[in-house]
Structures are given as structure tokens and as C-alpha cells.
Chains A and B, each alone.
Chain A
């Protein structure tokens, strides 16, 4: 079957206008054109360090009376040090001594700790005495170290180090609950 529809001259003009407009706004590739452009991407990768610690640690004593109080704290950190010349450190300082008065004292050298199992860098050696006046070492970072990804970087992400705290149990401490604040600081160059 053949159908014949009459088209007026006005309708023809309108259709032509629409086709022309479509060709003008069509993407270049639809028209068979092509092009190449380049974009330079650059990033300045700097040495950096970040640290995270649990909000609280409770020191406890078990077993025989007057055994020292102790507790383990896992410190998490991420770091990147400069190739060849870089270094870094994770340190700790008691920014608030035990309170209230009458109990243990960091300033008096009664809080000590050891470090172990650092998954990046070198854990502090031997027993460290915590201080309210100065930073004491937790982890030392050498050059060309980085967290995560494997290869030349560590596989672990984040990295961790275990700090084991020991607080002397002196009979002179008055009974009660005491708290102090420890601040860990990481730096990397």
C-alpha cells in the first residue's frame, strides 16, 4: 500500500532548518573529525607522618601485692620519609601528669615503657622513662620509608608499634584513681 501525503512548502523549510541545527551542534567525532591534546600532571610528594592512639589505657596490677601496674598500648602510624636523606621519629611526652595529687608521678620517673614490634622503623631500645619535660623515643624512622603498598614500602597499613607501660606500685600512693595524658608526636622529613 502506498500512502501519499501532501507537504506544503512551509513544512519543508522547517524540516531543513532542524537538520541544519543538528549538524551544527553535533560533536566533532560524529562529523568524522579527530584531535589530540596533552595535559601535564605533576604532584609534589612530601614527607609526612600521622599517628593515632587509643583514647585511653588502664594500667592494672595482678597477682602478688605491690607488683607494678602495667598495660599495653598499640600506637598506629603512617609515615613517608624522603629518599636517601629523610628521617623521622615517633615520640611521646606526658603532657599532663597523674592527678589528683598523692598518687604516682611521671615527673618523678615512676612511669617507664618499652617498645616492640614496630612494623616500620626501629622501636625504641631498652626501658625508657616517660617524662613531662621532654619527648622520649618510641620509633625512629630512617630514609626512604613509607607505609603500605608493599614493595619498597611496608605491607602494613597503618604501621603499629606496641608500647608496654609499667608504673611502680609504691605503698606511699594514696588509694584512689589517677589519670595522666600522654601525647604521641610523629615527624618525618
Chain B
């Protein structure tokens, strides 16, 4: 029994200094932080209205702006911004991403974005089933503390078969970093 008390006391004395230092005129503490890969974005254009301008049956166009923050791992990290149509145009009888009334009708977009982003190249076709690229990032990429800007410029086919009316769809942007 006495031996157990001695062992417990010895253990307590060993643990105590790790928790708190001794009282003295000064005391030091080691401050540590682990910085990991992170990414976040904000779509600054909450509603993008597509409009047809000029010659009749010109495609409907519009621009969605977003601000992103990103930090990728040194040497091995990567990052991306993608989008997906998570809710197709409604109501029915208008444009559709998943089932366009006429073959060739499509919601397409081009991308803008400065370094560290590499904006998507050429015209991309939006999809309800797959995420499509907006921008990519390499290893050790980092945005400004206030965030960097990027945008997608939309183009929607203006098919005469669309019934007149207002239609809306939801596009979800996703950013990731490793």
C-alpha cells in the first residue's frame, strides 16, 4: 500500500511540470499552430439573369462572379473550382440542361480568373450529372487574404421552341484544396 502511494506521488510530480511551469518572475509558453490546406468561395452574384441582346434568337448571356480563398499544400497540393447544375431549369417547356428540347441546346460557359488560378479553357458545357471545371490550382498556391476574383460567362441557347416565361436553375460552385 505504502509503495503504491509513493508511486502515485512520483507520477504526480512527473506530470505536474508538463502542465504548469514553476512560479517565477517570468514564464514562457510555446505557441504552436498547424496550417493546413483550405479553400472557400463566395458567389458574389447571387442571381444571374441571362438576357438576349441584339439580333433575335441570339443566346441568352450573363456573368456570375465569385471570390475565392485558397491555400494548397507545398509541393504536392492541388485545388479546383467546379460547378454543377444542381437544379435544372423550371418550370417545364423552357430550356433544360439535362433534357434539352432540341439536340444541341446547351448551357455553356467560359471562365476568367487570374493567377494563382488557371481558368478553364475554352467553352464548357454545364451538366446536371457531373461537375465541370472553372479553375484549377497547383501546389503551394495561395490567394490574397481578401480573396481573388473569378467569373463564369454564361451562354444559353435561345431555342424558338421554348415557351415564353421566366425559368430558373441553380448552379452550385465547389472549391477544394489538398
Query: How far apart sit A158 and B24, CA to CA, in the bound complex (Å)?
Result: 13
Chain B residues lying within 8 Å of A76, measured Cβ to Cβ, are 20, 23
Q: Is the CB of B18 within 8 A of A55?
A: yes
Contact of A52 with B by CB under 8 A: yes
Contact of B22 with A by CB under 8 A: yes
Contact of B66 with A by CB under 8 A: no
Q: Is the CB of A181 within 8 A of B145?
A: no
Q: Would you call the interface of chain A mostly helix, strand, loop, or mixed?
A: strand
Q: Is the CB of B33 within 8 A of A66?
A: no
Within 8 A of B (CB), among A170-189: 170-187
Q: Is the CB of B26 within 8 A of A184?
A: yes
Chain A residues lying within 8 Å of B72, measured Cβ to Cβ, are 175
Contacting A173 at CB < 8 Å: which of B22, B27, B32, B71? B71
Contact of A44 with B by CB under 8 A: no
Contact of B8 with A by CB under 8 A: no
Q: Is the CB of A181 within 8 A of B40?
A: no
Q: Is the CB of B19 within 8 A of A51?
A: no
Query: How far apart sit A66 and B39, CA to CA, in the bound complex (Å)?
Result: 8
Chain B residues lying within 8 Å of A185, measured Cβ to Cβ, are 25-26
Q: Can you list 13 A-B pairs with a CB-CB distance of less than 8 A? A: A51-B27, A52-B21, A53-B28, A54-B20, A59-B31, A60-B34, A173-B71, A174-B140, A175-B77, A178-B34, A180-B31, A181-B28, A184-B27
Query: How far apart sit A182 and B29, CA to CA, in the bound complex (Å)?
Result: 5
Minimum CB–CB distance from B13 to chain A (whole Å) comes to: 15
Which of B30, B39, B73, B142 lies at the interface centre, i.e. has the most chain A CB atoms within 10 A of its CB? Answer: B30
Q: Is the CB of A177 within 8 A of B28?
A: no
Chain A residues lying within 8 Å of B38, measured Cβ to Cβ, are 65-66, 169, 171
Query: Apart from A54-B19, A172-B145, A184-B27, what are 15 other A-B pairs with CB-CB below 8 Å?
Result: A50-B24, A55-B30, A56-B29, A57-B29, A57-B31, A60-B33, A75-B27, A103-B33, A104-B35, A165-B31, A171-B142, A174-B74, A175-B73, A176-B35, A177-B32
Q: Is the CB of B35 within 8 A of A177?
A: yes
Query: How far apart sit A185 and B18, CA to CA, in the bound complex (Å)?
Result: 20
Q: What is the size, in residues, of chain A's interface with B at 8 Å between Cβ atoms?
A: 51
Which of A51, A65, A71, A172 lies at the interface centre, i.e. has the most chain B CB atoms within 10 A of its CB? Answer: A65
Query: How far apart sit A170 and B72, CA to CA, in the bound complex (Å)?
Result: 12
Q: What is the size, in residues, of chain B's interface with A at 8 Å between Cβ atoms?
A: 36
Chain A residues lying within 8 Å of B28, measured Cβ to Cβ, are 53, 95, 181-184
Q: Is the CB of A59 within 8 A of B33?
A: yes
Within 8 A of A (CB), among B71-118: 71-74, 77
Contacting B32 at CB < 8 Å: which of A57, A174, A184? A57
Contact of B47 with A by CB under 8 A: no
Query: How far apart sit A188 and B172, CA to CA, in the bound complex (Å)?
Result: 60
Contact of A49 with B by CB under 8 A: yes
Interface bits A31-66 vs B (CB < 8 Å: 1, else 0):
000000000000000000111111111111000111
Tell whether A176 pairs with B74 under 8 Å between CB atoms, given A53-B29, A186-B25: yes
Minimum CB–CB distance from B26 to chain A (whole Å) comes to: 5
Contacting A181 at CB < 8 Å: which of B17, B19, B22, B30? B30
Tell whether A52 pairs with B32 under 8 Å between CB atoms, given A65-B40, A66-B38, A172-B145: no
Interface bits A149-181 vs B (CB < 8 Å: 1, else 0):
000000000100000010111111111111111
Tell whether A104 pairs with B23 under 8 Å between CB atoms, given A175-B77, A183-B28, A184-B28: no
